[in-house]
Structure 1
Amino acid sequence: MTAPTSPSDAAGPGPADSVRPIIATSLAVTDRVRLRQRVDKSLAWFLADRRAWMAEVDSALAPVADAIEGFVLRGGKRLRPAFGYWGFRGAGGHDSDQLVTALSALELVQASALIHDDLIDRSDTRRGEPAVHRRFAGRHRAHGWAGDADGFGDSAAVLLGDLCLVWSDELLHAGGLDPAALSRARPVFDEMRTEVTIGQYLDVLTQATGDTSVERAGKVARLKSAKYTVERPLLLGAALAAAPAGVTDAYSGFGLPLGEAFQLRDDMLGVFGDPAQTGKPAGDDLREGKRTFLVAATFEAADEPGRRDLERLLGSPDLDAEGIGHLREIIVGCGAAERTERRIGALLDAALSHIETAPIEDEARAALIDLAHAATTRTD
């Protein structure tokens, strides 16, 4: 694509009282440099440019632009660009709009992963709106088109998710960063996208084989979510700043346990979260049959009747509120929820022990510590 003008130049119920409560910490309080607004501006600029390009190709692509803009620009915590930004700053890099634009590419990787994840899990909603495959199936029905509406929606979601992944590559290079810096960052960016893809496959495989081990759940969590949420963005920022090995080692020591803690919090919210805050139906992870650490811990600790009920109800598309409530009782009663909360705390402590002694700039250290607490105590 022809590089456009830079954006800088253009206008539920809780699990149990015994489980450590989720502190309502907003990620907004960690935004020391208005990063979220700047990322939003970069994304809006880039997507407007892509919309204009598609309009020249065919007017029928307007709904594609609408769907991706709505998905990317509506909500989102911008957590991955934040870790990338402070990873860069911690290694001595200086703030710039070019940096923020490049790191905004992480949000398109995230969009791709979520669009595909919703399709794989047959989720109806995302952030309180119809999932992309549901949105395009509804469009098919509304227009009375030929063929299967759900099949059309599924195909559209695959292609829109792929398009976001392609565009993440374009946006990484569109902001105007030094080519030498981008060359250093490229292997990190590529490996991150590979990890999240194979992690998604292992997640699908785990559900198909019925593997309920804590070990497999942990590996899936690390590859599918943990590494690309924290560690890889940090290392991407470090690569852009040409950070020395001591910094990158500290970032991995911080990022891996923190990313896993983030995912475990996500798992807890998928079972116990408030739909008004999560944007997804209550207990959706149970209905989708996700083999998370929380579920694996429940299989380990539940009594025989509890395991039988878990096997019978987990992954049932007809799972109702009563069934969800029963599974919650099993999860809490056997101690799996409390075990998950303890693991979140232990992982957070491990992460903080690395960043507190890391050879990085003090402002970045403080920002990363704030982000760590916010990422593990969030309610959405």
Structure 2
Amino acid sequence: MDRRRTDVLGIDPKVARAVDALAGFVLGGGKRLRPTFAWWGWRGAGGDPHGEDAQGVLTAIASLELIQACALVHDDLMDASSTRRGRPTVHVEFAREHAAGGWSGPPARFGAAVAILVGDLAQVWADDMFHSAALPEGAHRRAAEPWRAMRTEVLSGQYLDVLAQASGDTAEETALTIDRFKTAAYTVERPLHLGAAVAGADPQLVGAYRRYGADIGVAFQLRDDLLGVFGDPRVTGKPAGDDLREGKRTLLIAAGLQRAEQNGDRAAHEAITGALGDPEMAGPALERVRSVLSELGAVHAVEQRIAALTGSALDALDAAPVAEPGRARLFELAERATRRAW
């Protein structure tokens, strides 16, 4: 980030403000799950942490944090989220800067424009960082498939998410498809695939990684959905109930609506649909929706799905030829990704 900041200073020192915002976003927090899965995918495929290739691998997989930054900065804008990791989101930060400066035009429009550009910059620099990493001969060619697929999948999943919110699609299948491509593919499956490809893993291991990654990635998102409704802001870094206010059509919501319809419980159905997209959803109203989702069994159903996905993922990993300590760490990461505190 320091090197790239120097690059933009040669264009105009004012651009450094946007770069500083990106650097603060990337370096200021996050779970680092994507490069962590990529690293242990590489290690599990025989990568040597003390070998001459290790530093280049670290550089290549660190670029995943810039992919994540792009996705989150744009996602926050699309969802009109005000906070991320306990801090103002990028579009909010720049809108406030605009307002404080008394500049012309609407502050929100300026904030949105800057957030789009900062997210784009993260995507461009991720490509630069990945392709310039000092990897062994043939590694970039082998890694091209997961790198290309990952970016297309996350953008496709994001589009499906936006479409579901706009169209009111609350089908469970839709929610799971979004989870599979918006989150699972670029959080676990493709990072593992990337690490394995860099190491030159055989198809059997790649296949096992992808099965494990797809299931753990969806389970991770389902846990995130529960946190989005029931989570403590001190843990999540986002206001309680944010997913409801944003109108997200998650599996939790789909399961709740389906059960309300099956039970003929119109009051419960209306409580859930009324909460979706309500910017004032908080306090007693939020507690009411939480109670409804719990009483309908939707929370239990999601917990059961998380447990089943985690079990199938670990079965796939257990049957694969994964080198230690990669195997042990991937088992630990499955626990870490799916059993986060509320």
TM over 0.5, shorter chain: yes
Separation in 1, partners of 2:103, 2:307: 52
Counterpart residue number, 2:40 = 86
Q: Which has the higher contact order (CA 8 A, sep 6+)?
A: 1
Contact 1:128 1:279 survives alignment (8 Å): yes
User: 2:300 aligned with 1:338, yes or no?
Assistant: yes
2:108 to 127, 140, 150: 150
CA deviations over 1:242-300 (Å, ceiling 9, x no partner):
11111011111211111110000110111111101110001110111100111111111
Give the letter aligned to residue 102 of structure 2. G
Give the letter aligned to residue 305 of structure 1. A
| Equivalenced residues, count | 334
2:185 to 224, 227, 249: 227
Contact 1:140 1:149 survives alignment (8 Å): yes
Separation in 1, partners of 2:280, 2:139: 51
Contact 1:278 1:379 survives alignment (8 Å): no
Shift of 1:59: 1.1
Separation in 1, partners of 2:243, 2:17: 29
Shift of 1:179: 4.8
| SS of residue matched to 2:138 | helix
Q: How does 1:263-278 map to 2 (within 5 A)?
A: 263-278=221-236
Shift of 1:314: 1.1
Separation in 1, partners of 2:64, 2:3: 18
Separation in 2, partners of 1:192, 1:179: 22
Separation in 1, partners of 2:203, 2:131: 25
Separation in 1, partners of 2:281, 2:204: 49
User: 2:28 aligned with 1:74, yes or no?
Assistant: yes
Separation in 2, partners of 1:264, 1:311: 19
CA deviations over 1:125-182 (Å, ceiling 9, x no partner):
0000000000110111111111110000011111111110111101112331135201
Question: Higher mean Cα deviation, 303-312 or 209-218?
Answer: 303-312
| Percent identical | 49
Shift of 1:195: 0.4
Separation in 1, partners of 2:276, 2:126: 35
Counterpart residue number, 2:124 = 166
Counterpart residue number, 1:27 = none
CA deviations over 1:35-82 (Å, ceiling 9, x no partner):
xxxxxxxxxxxx111111111111111211221011000111111111
Counterpart residue number, 2:323 = 361
Separation in 2, partners of 1:353, 1:313: 38
Shift of 1:219: 0.2
Separation in 1, partners of 2:7, 2:58: 23
Give the letter aligned to residue 31 of structure 2. K
User: 2:208 aligned with 1:250, yes or no?
Assistant: yes
Q: TM-score, normalised by structure 2?
A: 0.96
Counterpart residue number, 1:323 = 285
Counterpart residue number, 2:154 = 196
Separation in 1, partners of 2:254, 2:3: 45
2:334 to 369, 372, 375: 372
Contact 2:19 2:118 survives alignment (8 Å): no
**RMSD of aligned residue pairs (Cα, Å):** 1.0
Shift of 1:309: 1.9
Separation in 2, partners of 1:310, 1:366: 41
Shift of 1:362: 2.4
Contact 2:241 2:282 survives alignment (8 Å): no
Counterpart residue number, 1:52 = 6
| SS of residue matched to 1:362 | coil
Contact 2:208 2:317 survives alignment (8 Å): yes
Separation in 1, partners of 2:237, 2:231: 9
Counterpart residue number, 2:65 = 107
Counterpart residue number, 2:167 = 209
1:312 to 255, 261, 274: 274
Runs of 4+ in 1 over 2 A off after TM superposition: none
| SS of residue matched to 1:57 | coil
